[in-house]
């Protein structure tokens, strides 16, 4: 569990850990990333109650002037821990009593899987569409939507896996604020043939608030990572393809592609009657170096007769 200025949430979080119905051995490993509130005091205040419950406690941290970031804190918490399985817990979230037991049992059966679970959002009704997406993805969609989602399809606060699997994938990126360390780890997990899995039970109360670290990651950062991963894993295997969307997002995707993949685009498809009625849709200017001469071309989307899509010339 990484901690940074989380004292207002820690009581609920730690109480839920104590109330886990898992009967095996457990350890709470916490790294305090330069908190300036009384998070460390709250943590130490729970040590005796944890140990009375049979949960060993490892707490460390640093008091530098600046936090090192979530990736750094998670890595420290993992490396100082001793368990054969890892249950990731954010300091502002609340486990339901069955979480560790059910995810542990599932991880034994699926050793090559990153195990997630359903969530309850707090406050209730916040980010309702996002919560519905988290809880409703099919097993196939956990893989296919990795290329279109704004983060891991198995959301980080619900992760559970073996230490062996975690170390095979490698530690979190420690770039600090603005770096989506969970998404980078998830992509590397998929590269190595990992299989994401989610329990349908809602085993975590996933808190939404403006101070959450996820808000420091920009949409452009996520977009670039997604497009790069799509090109690496999918588009590099295709001879050509079409882009569904002749509007702003389709054009943005095209501009984000490498030159090699841009040349594979055969058509832009759309059902927008306003676009179709124009029949000829100016796309963008491009500059190609050919035979040492700089040539300026005007690329355009042209409607094919009798069809509802634009052809890229």
CA distance 136 to 132: 6
CA distance 301 to 313: 6
Q: Quick check: is 289 in a domain?
A: yes
Q: Tell which wins on pLDDT, 54 or 272.
A: 54
CA distance 259 to 57: 53
Q: Quick check: is 230 in a domain?
A: no
Q: Quick check: is 88 in a domain?
A: yes
Q: How many residues does the chain have?
A: 313
145 with 272, same domain: the answer is no
Strand-strand pairing, 113-122 and 195-207? parallel
212 with 293, same domain: the answer is no
The predicted pLDDT at position 304 comes to 41
93 with 29, same domain: the answer is yes
Q: What is the pTM of this model?
A: 0.88
190 with 256, same domain: the answer is no
130 with 251, same domain: the answer is no
250 with 205, same domain: the answer is no
83 with 191, same domain: the answer is yes
Eight-state DSSP code of residue 164: H
In the chain, alpha helices (H)? 7-18, 39-45, 47-52, 70-79, 99-109, 128-136, 139-144, 163-169, 181-191, 219-233, 248-256, 259-262, 273-278
123 with 54, same domain: the answer is yes
Q: Quick check: is 233 in a domain?
A: no
- Count structural domains, the chain: 2
CA distances from 228 to 137, 157, 220, 223, 256 (A): 23, 24, 12, 9, 9
Q: Quick check: is 231 in a domain?
A: no
Which residues lie across from 12 on neighbouring strands?
Answer: none
Q: Which domain holds residue 43?
A: 2-225
Is residue 125 over pLDDT 50? Answer: yes
∠ at Cα 186 (255, 158), nearest 5°? Answer: 130
The pLDDT confidence band at residue 276, using thresholds 50, 70 and 90, is: low
Which residue, of 201, 225, 249, is where some domain finishes?
225
The predicted pLDDT at position 263 comes to 93
60 with 199, same domain: the answer is yes
When mean pLDDT is compared across 65-69, 85-89, 194-198, 265-269, the lowest value belongs to 265-269
The predicted pLDDT at position 210 comes to 75
Torsion of CA 33, 34, 35, 38, to 10 degrees: 110
Mean pLDDT (the chain, rounded) = 89
The predicted pLDDT at position 278 comes to 63
Q: Quick check: is 75 in a domain?
A: yes
């Amino acid at each position: 569990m990484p901690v940074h200025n989380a004292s207002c949430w820690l009581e609920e979080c730690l109480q839920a850990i104590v109330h886990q119905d898992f009967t095996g051995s457990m350890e709470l490993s916490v790294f305090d990333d330069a908190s300036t509130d009384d998070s460390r005091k709250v943590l130490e205040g729970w040590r005796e109650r944890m140990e009375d419950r049979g949960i060993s406690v490892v707490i460390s941290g640093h008091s530098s002037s600046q936090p090192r970031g979530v990736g750094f804190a998670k890595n420290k918490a993992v490396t100082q821990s001793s368990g054969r399985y890892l249950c990731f817990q954010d300091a502002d979230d609340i486990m339901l009593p069955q979480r560790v037991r059910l995810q542990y049992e599932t991880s034994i059966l699926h050793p090559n899987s990153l195990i997630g679970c359903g969530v309850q959002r707090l406050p209730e009704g916040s980010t309702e569409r996002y919560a519905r997406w988290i809880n409703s993805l099919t097993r196939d969609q956990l893989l296919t939507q990795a290329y279109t989602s704004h983060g891991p399809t198995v959301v980080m606060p619900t992760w559970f896996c073996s230490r062996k699997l975690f170390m095979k994938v490698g530690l979190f990126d420690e770039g600090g604020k603005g770096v989506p360390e969970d998404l980078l780890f998830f992509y590397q997990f998929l590269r190595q043939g990992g299989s994401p899995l989610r329990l349908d039970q809602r085993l975590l109360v996933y808190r939404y608030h403006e101070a959450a670290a996820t808000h420091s990651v920009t949409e452009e950062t996520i977009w670039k990572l997604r497009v790069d991963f799509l090109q690496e894993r999918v588009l590099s295997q295709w001879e050509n393809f079409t882009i569904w969307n002749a509007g702003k997002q389709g054009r943005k995707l095209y501009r984000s592609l490498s030159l090699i993949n841009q040349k594979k685009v055969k058509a832009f498809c759309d059902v927008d009657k306003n676009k179709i009625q124009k029949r000829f849709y100016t796309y963008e200017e491009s500059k190609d170096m050919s035979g040492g001469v700089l040539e300026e071309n005007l690329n355009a989307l042209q409607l094919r007769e009798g069809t509802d899509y634009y052809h890229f010339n």
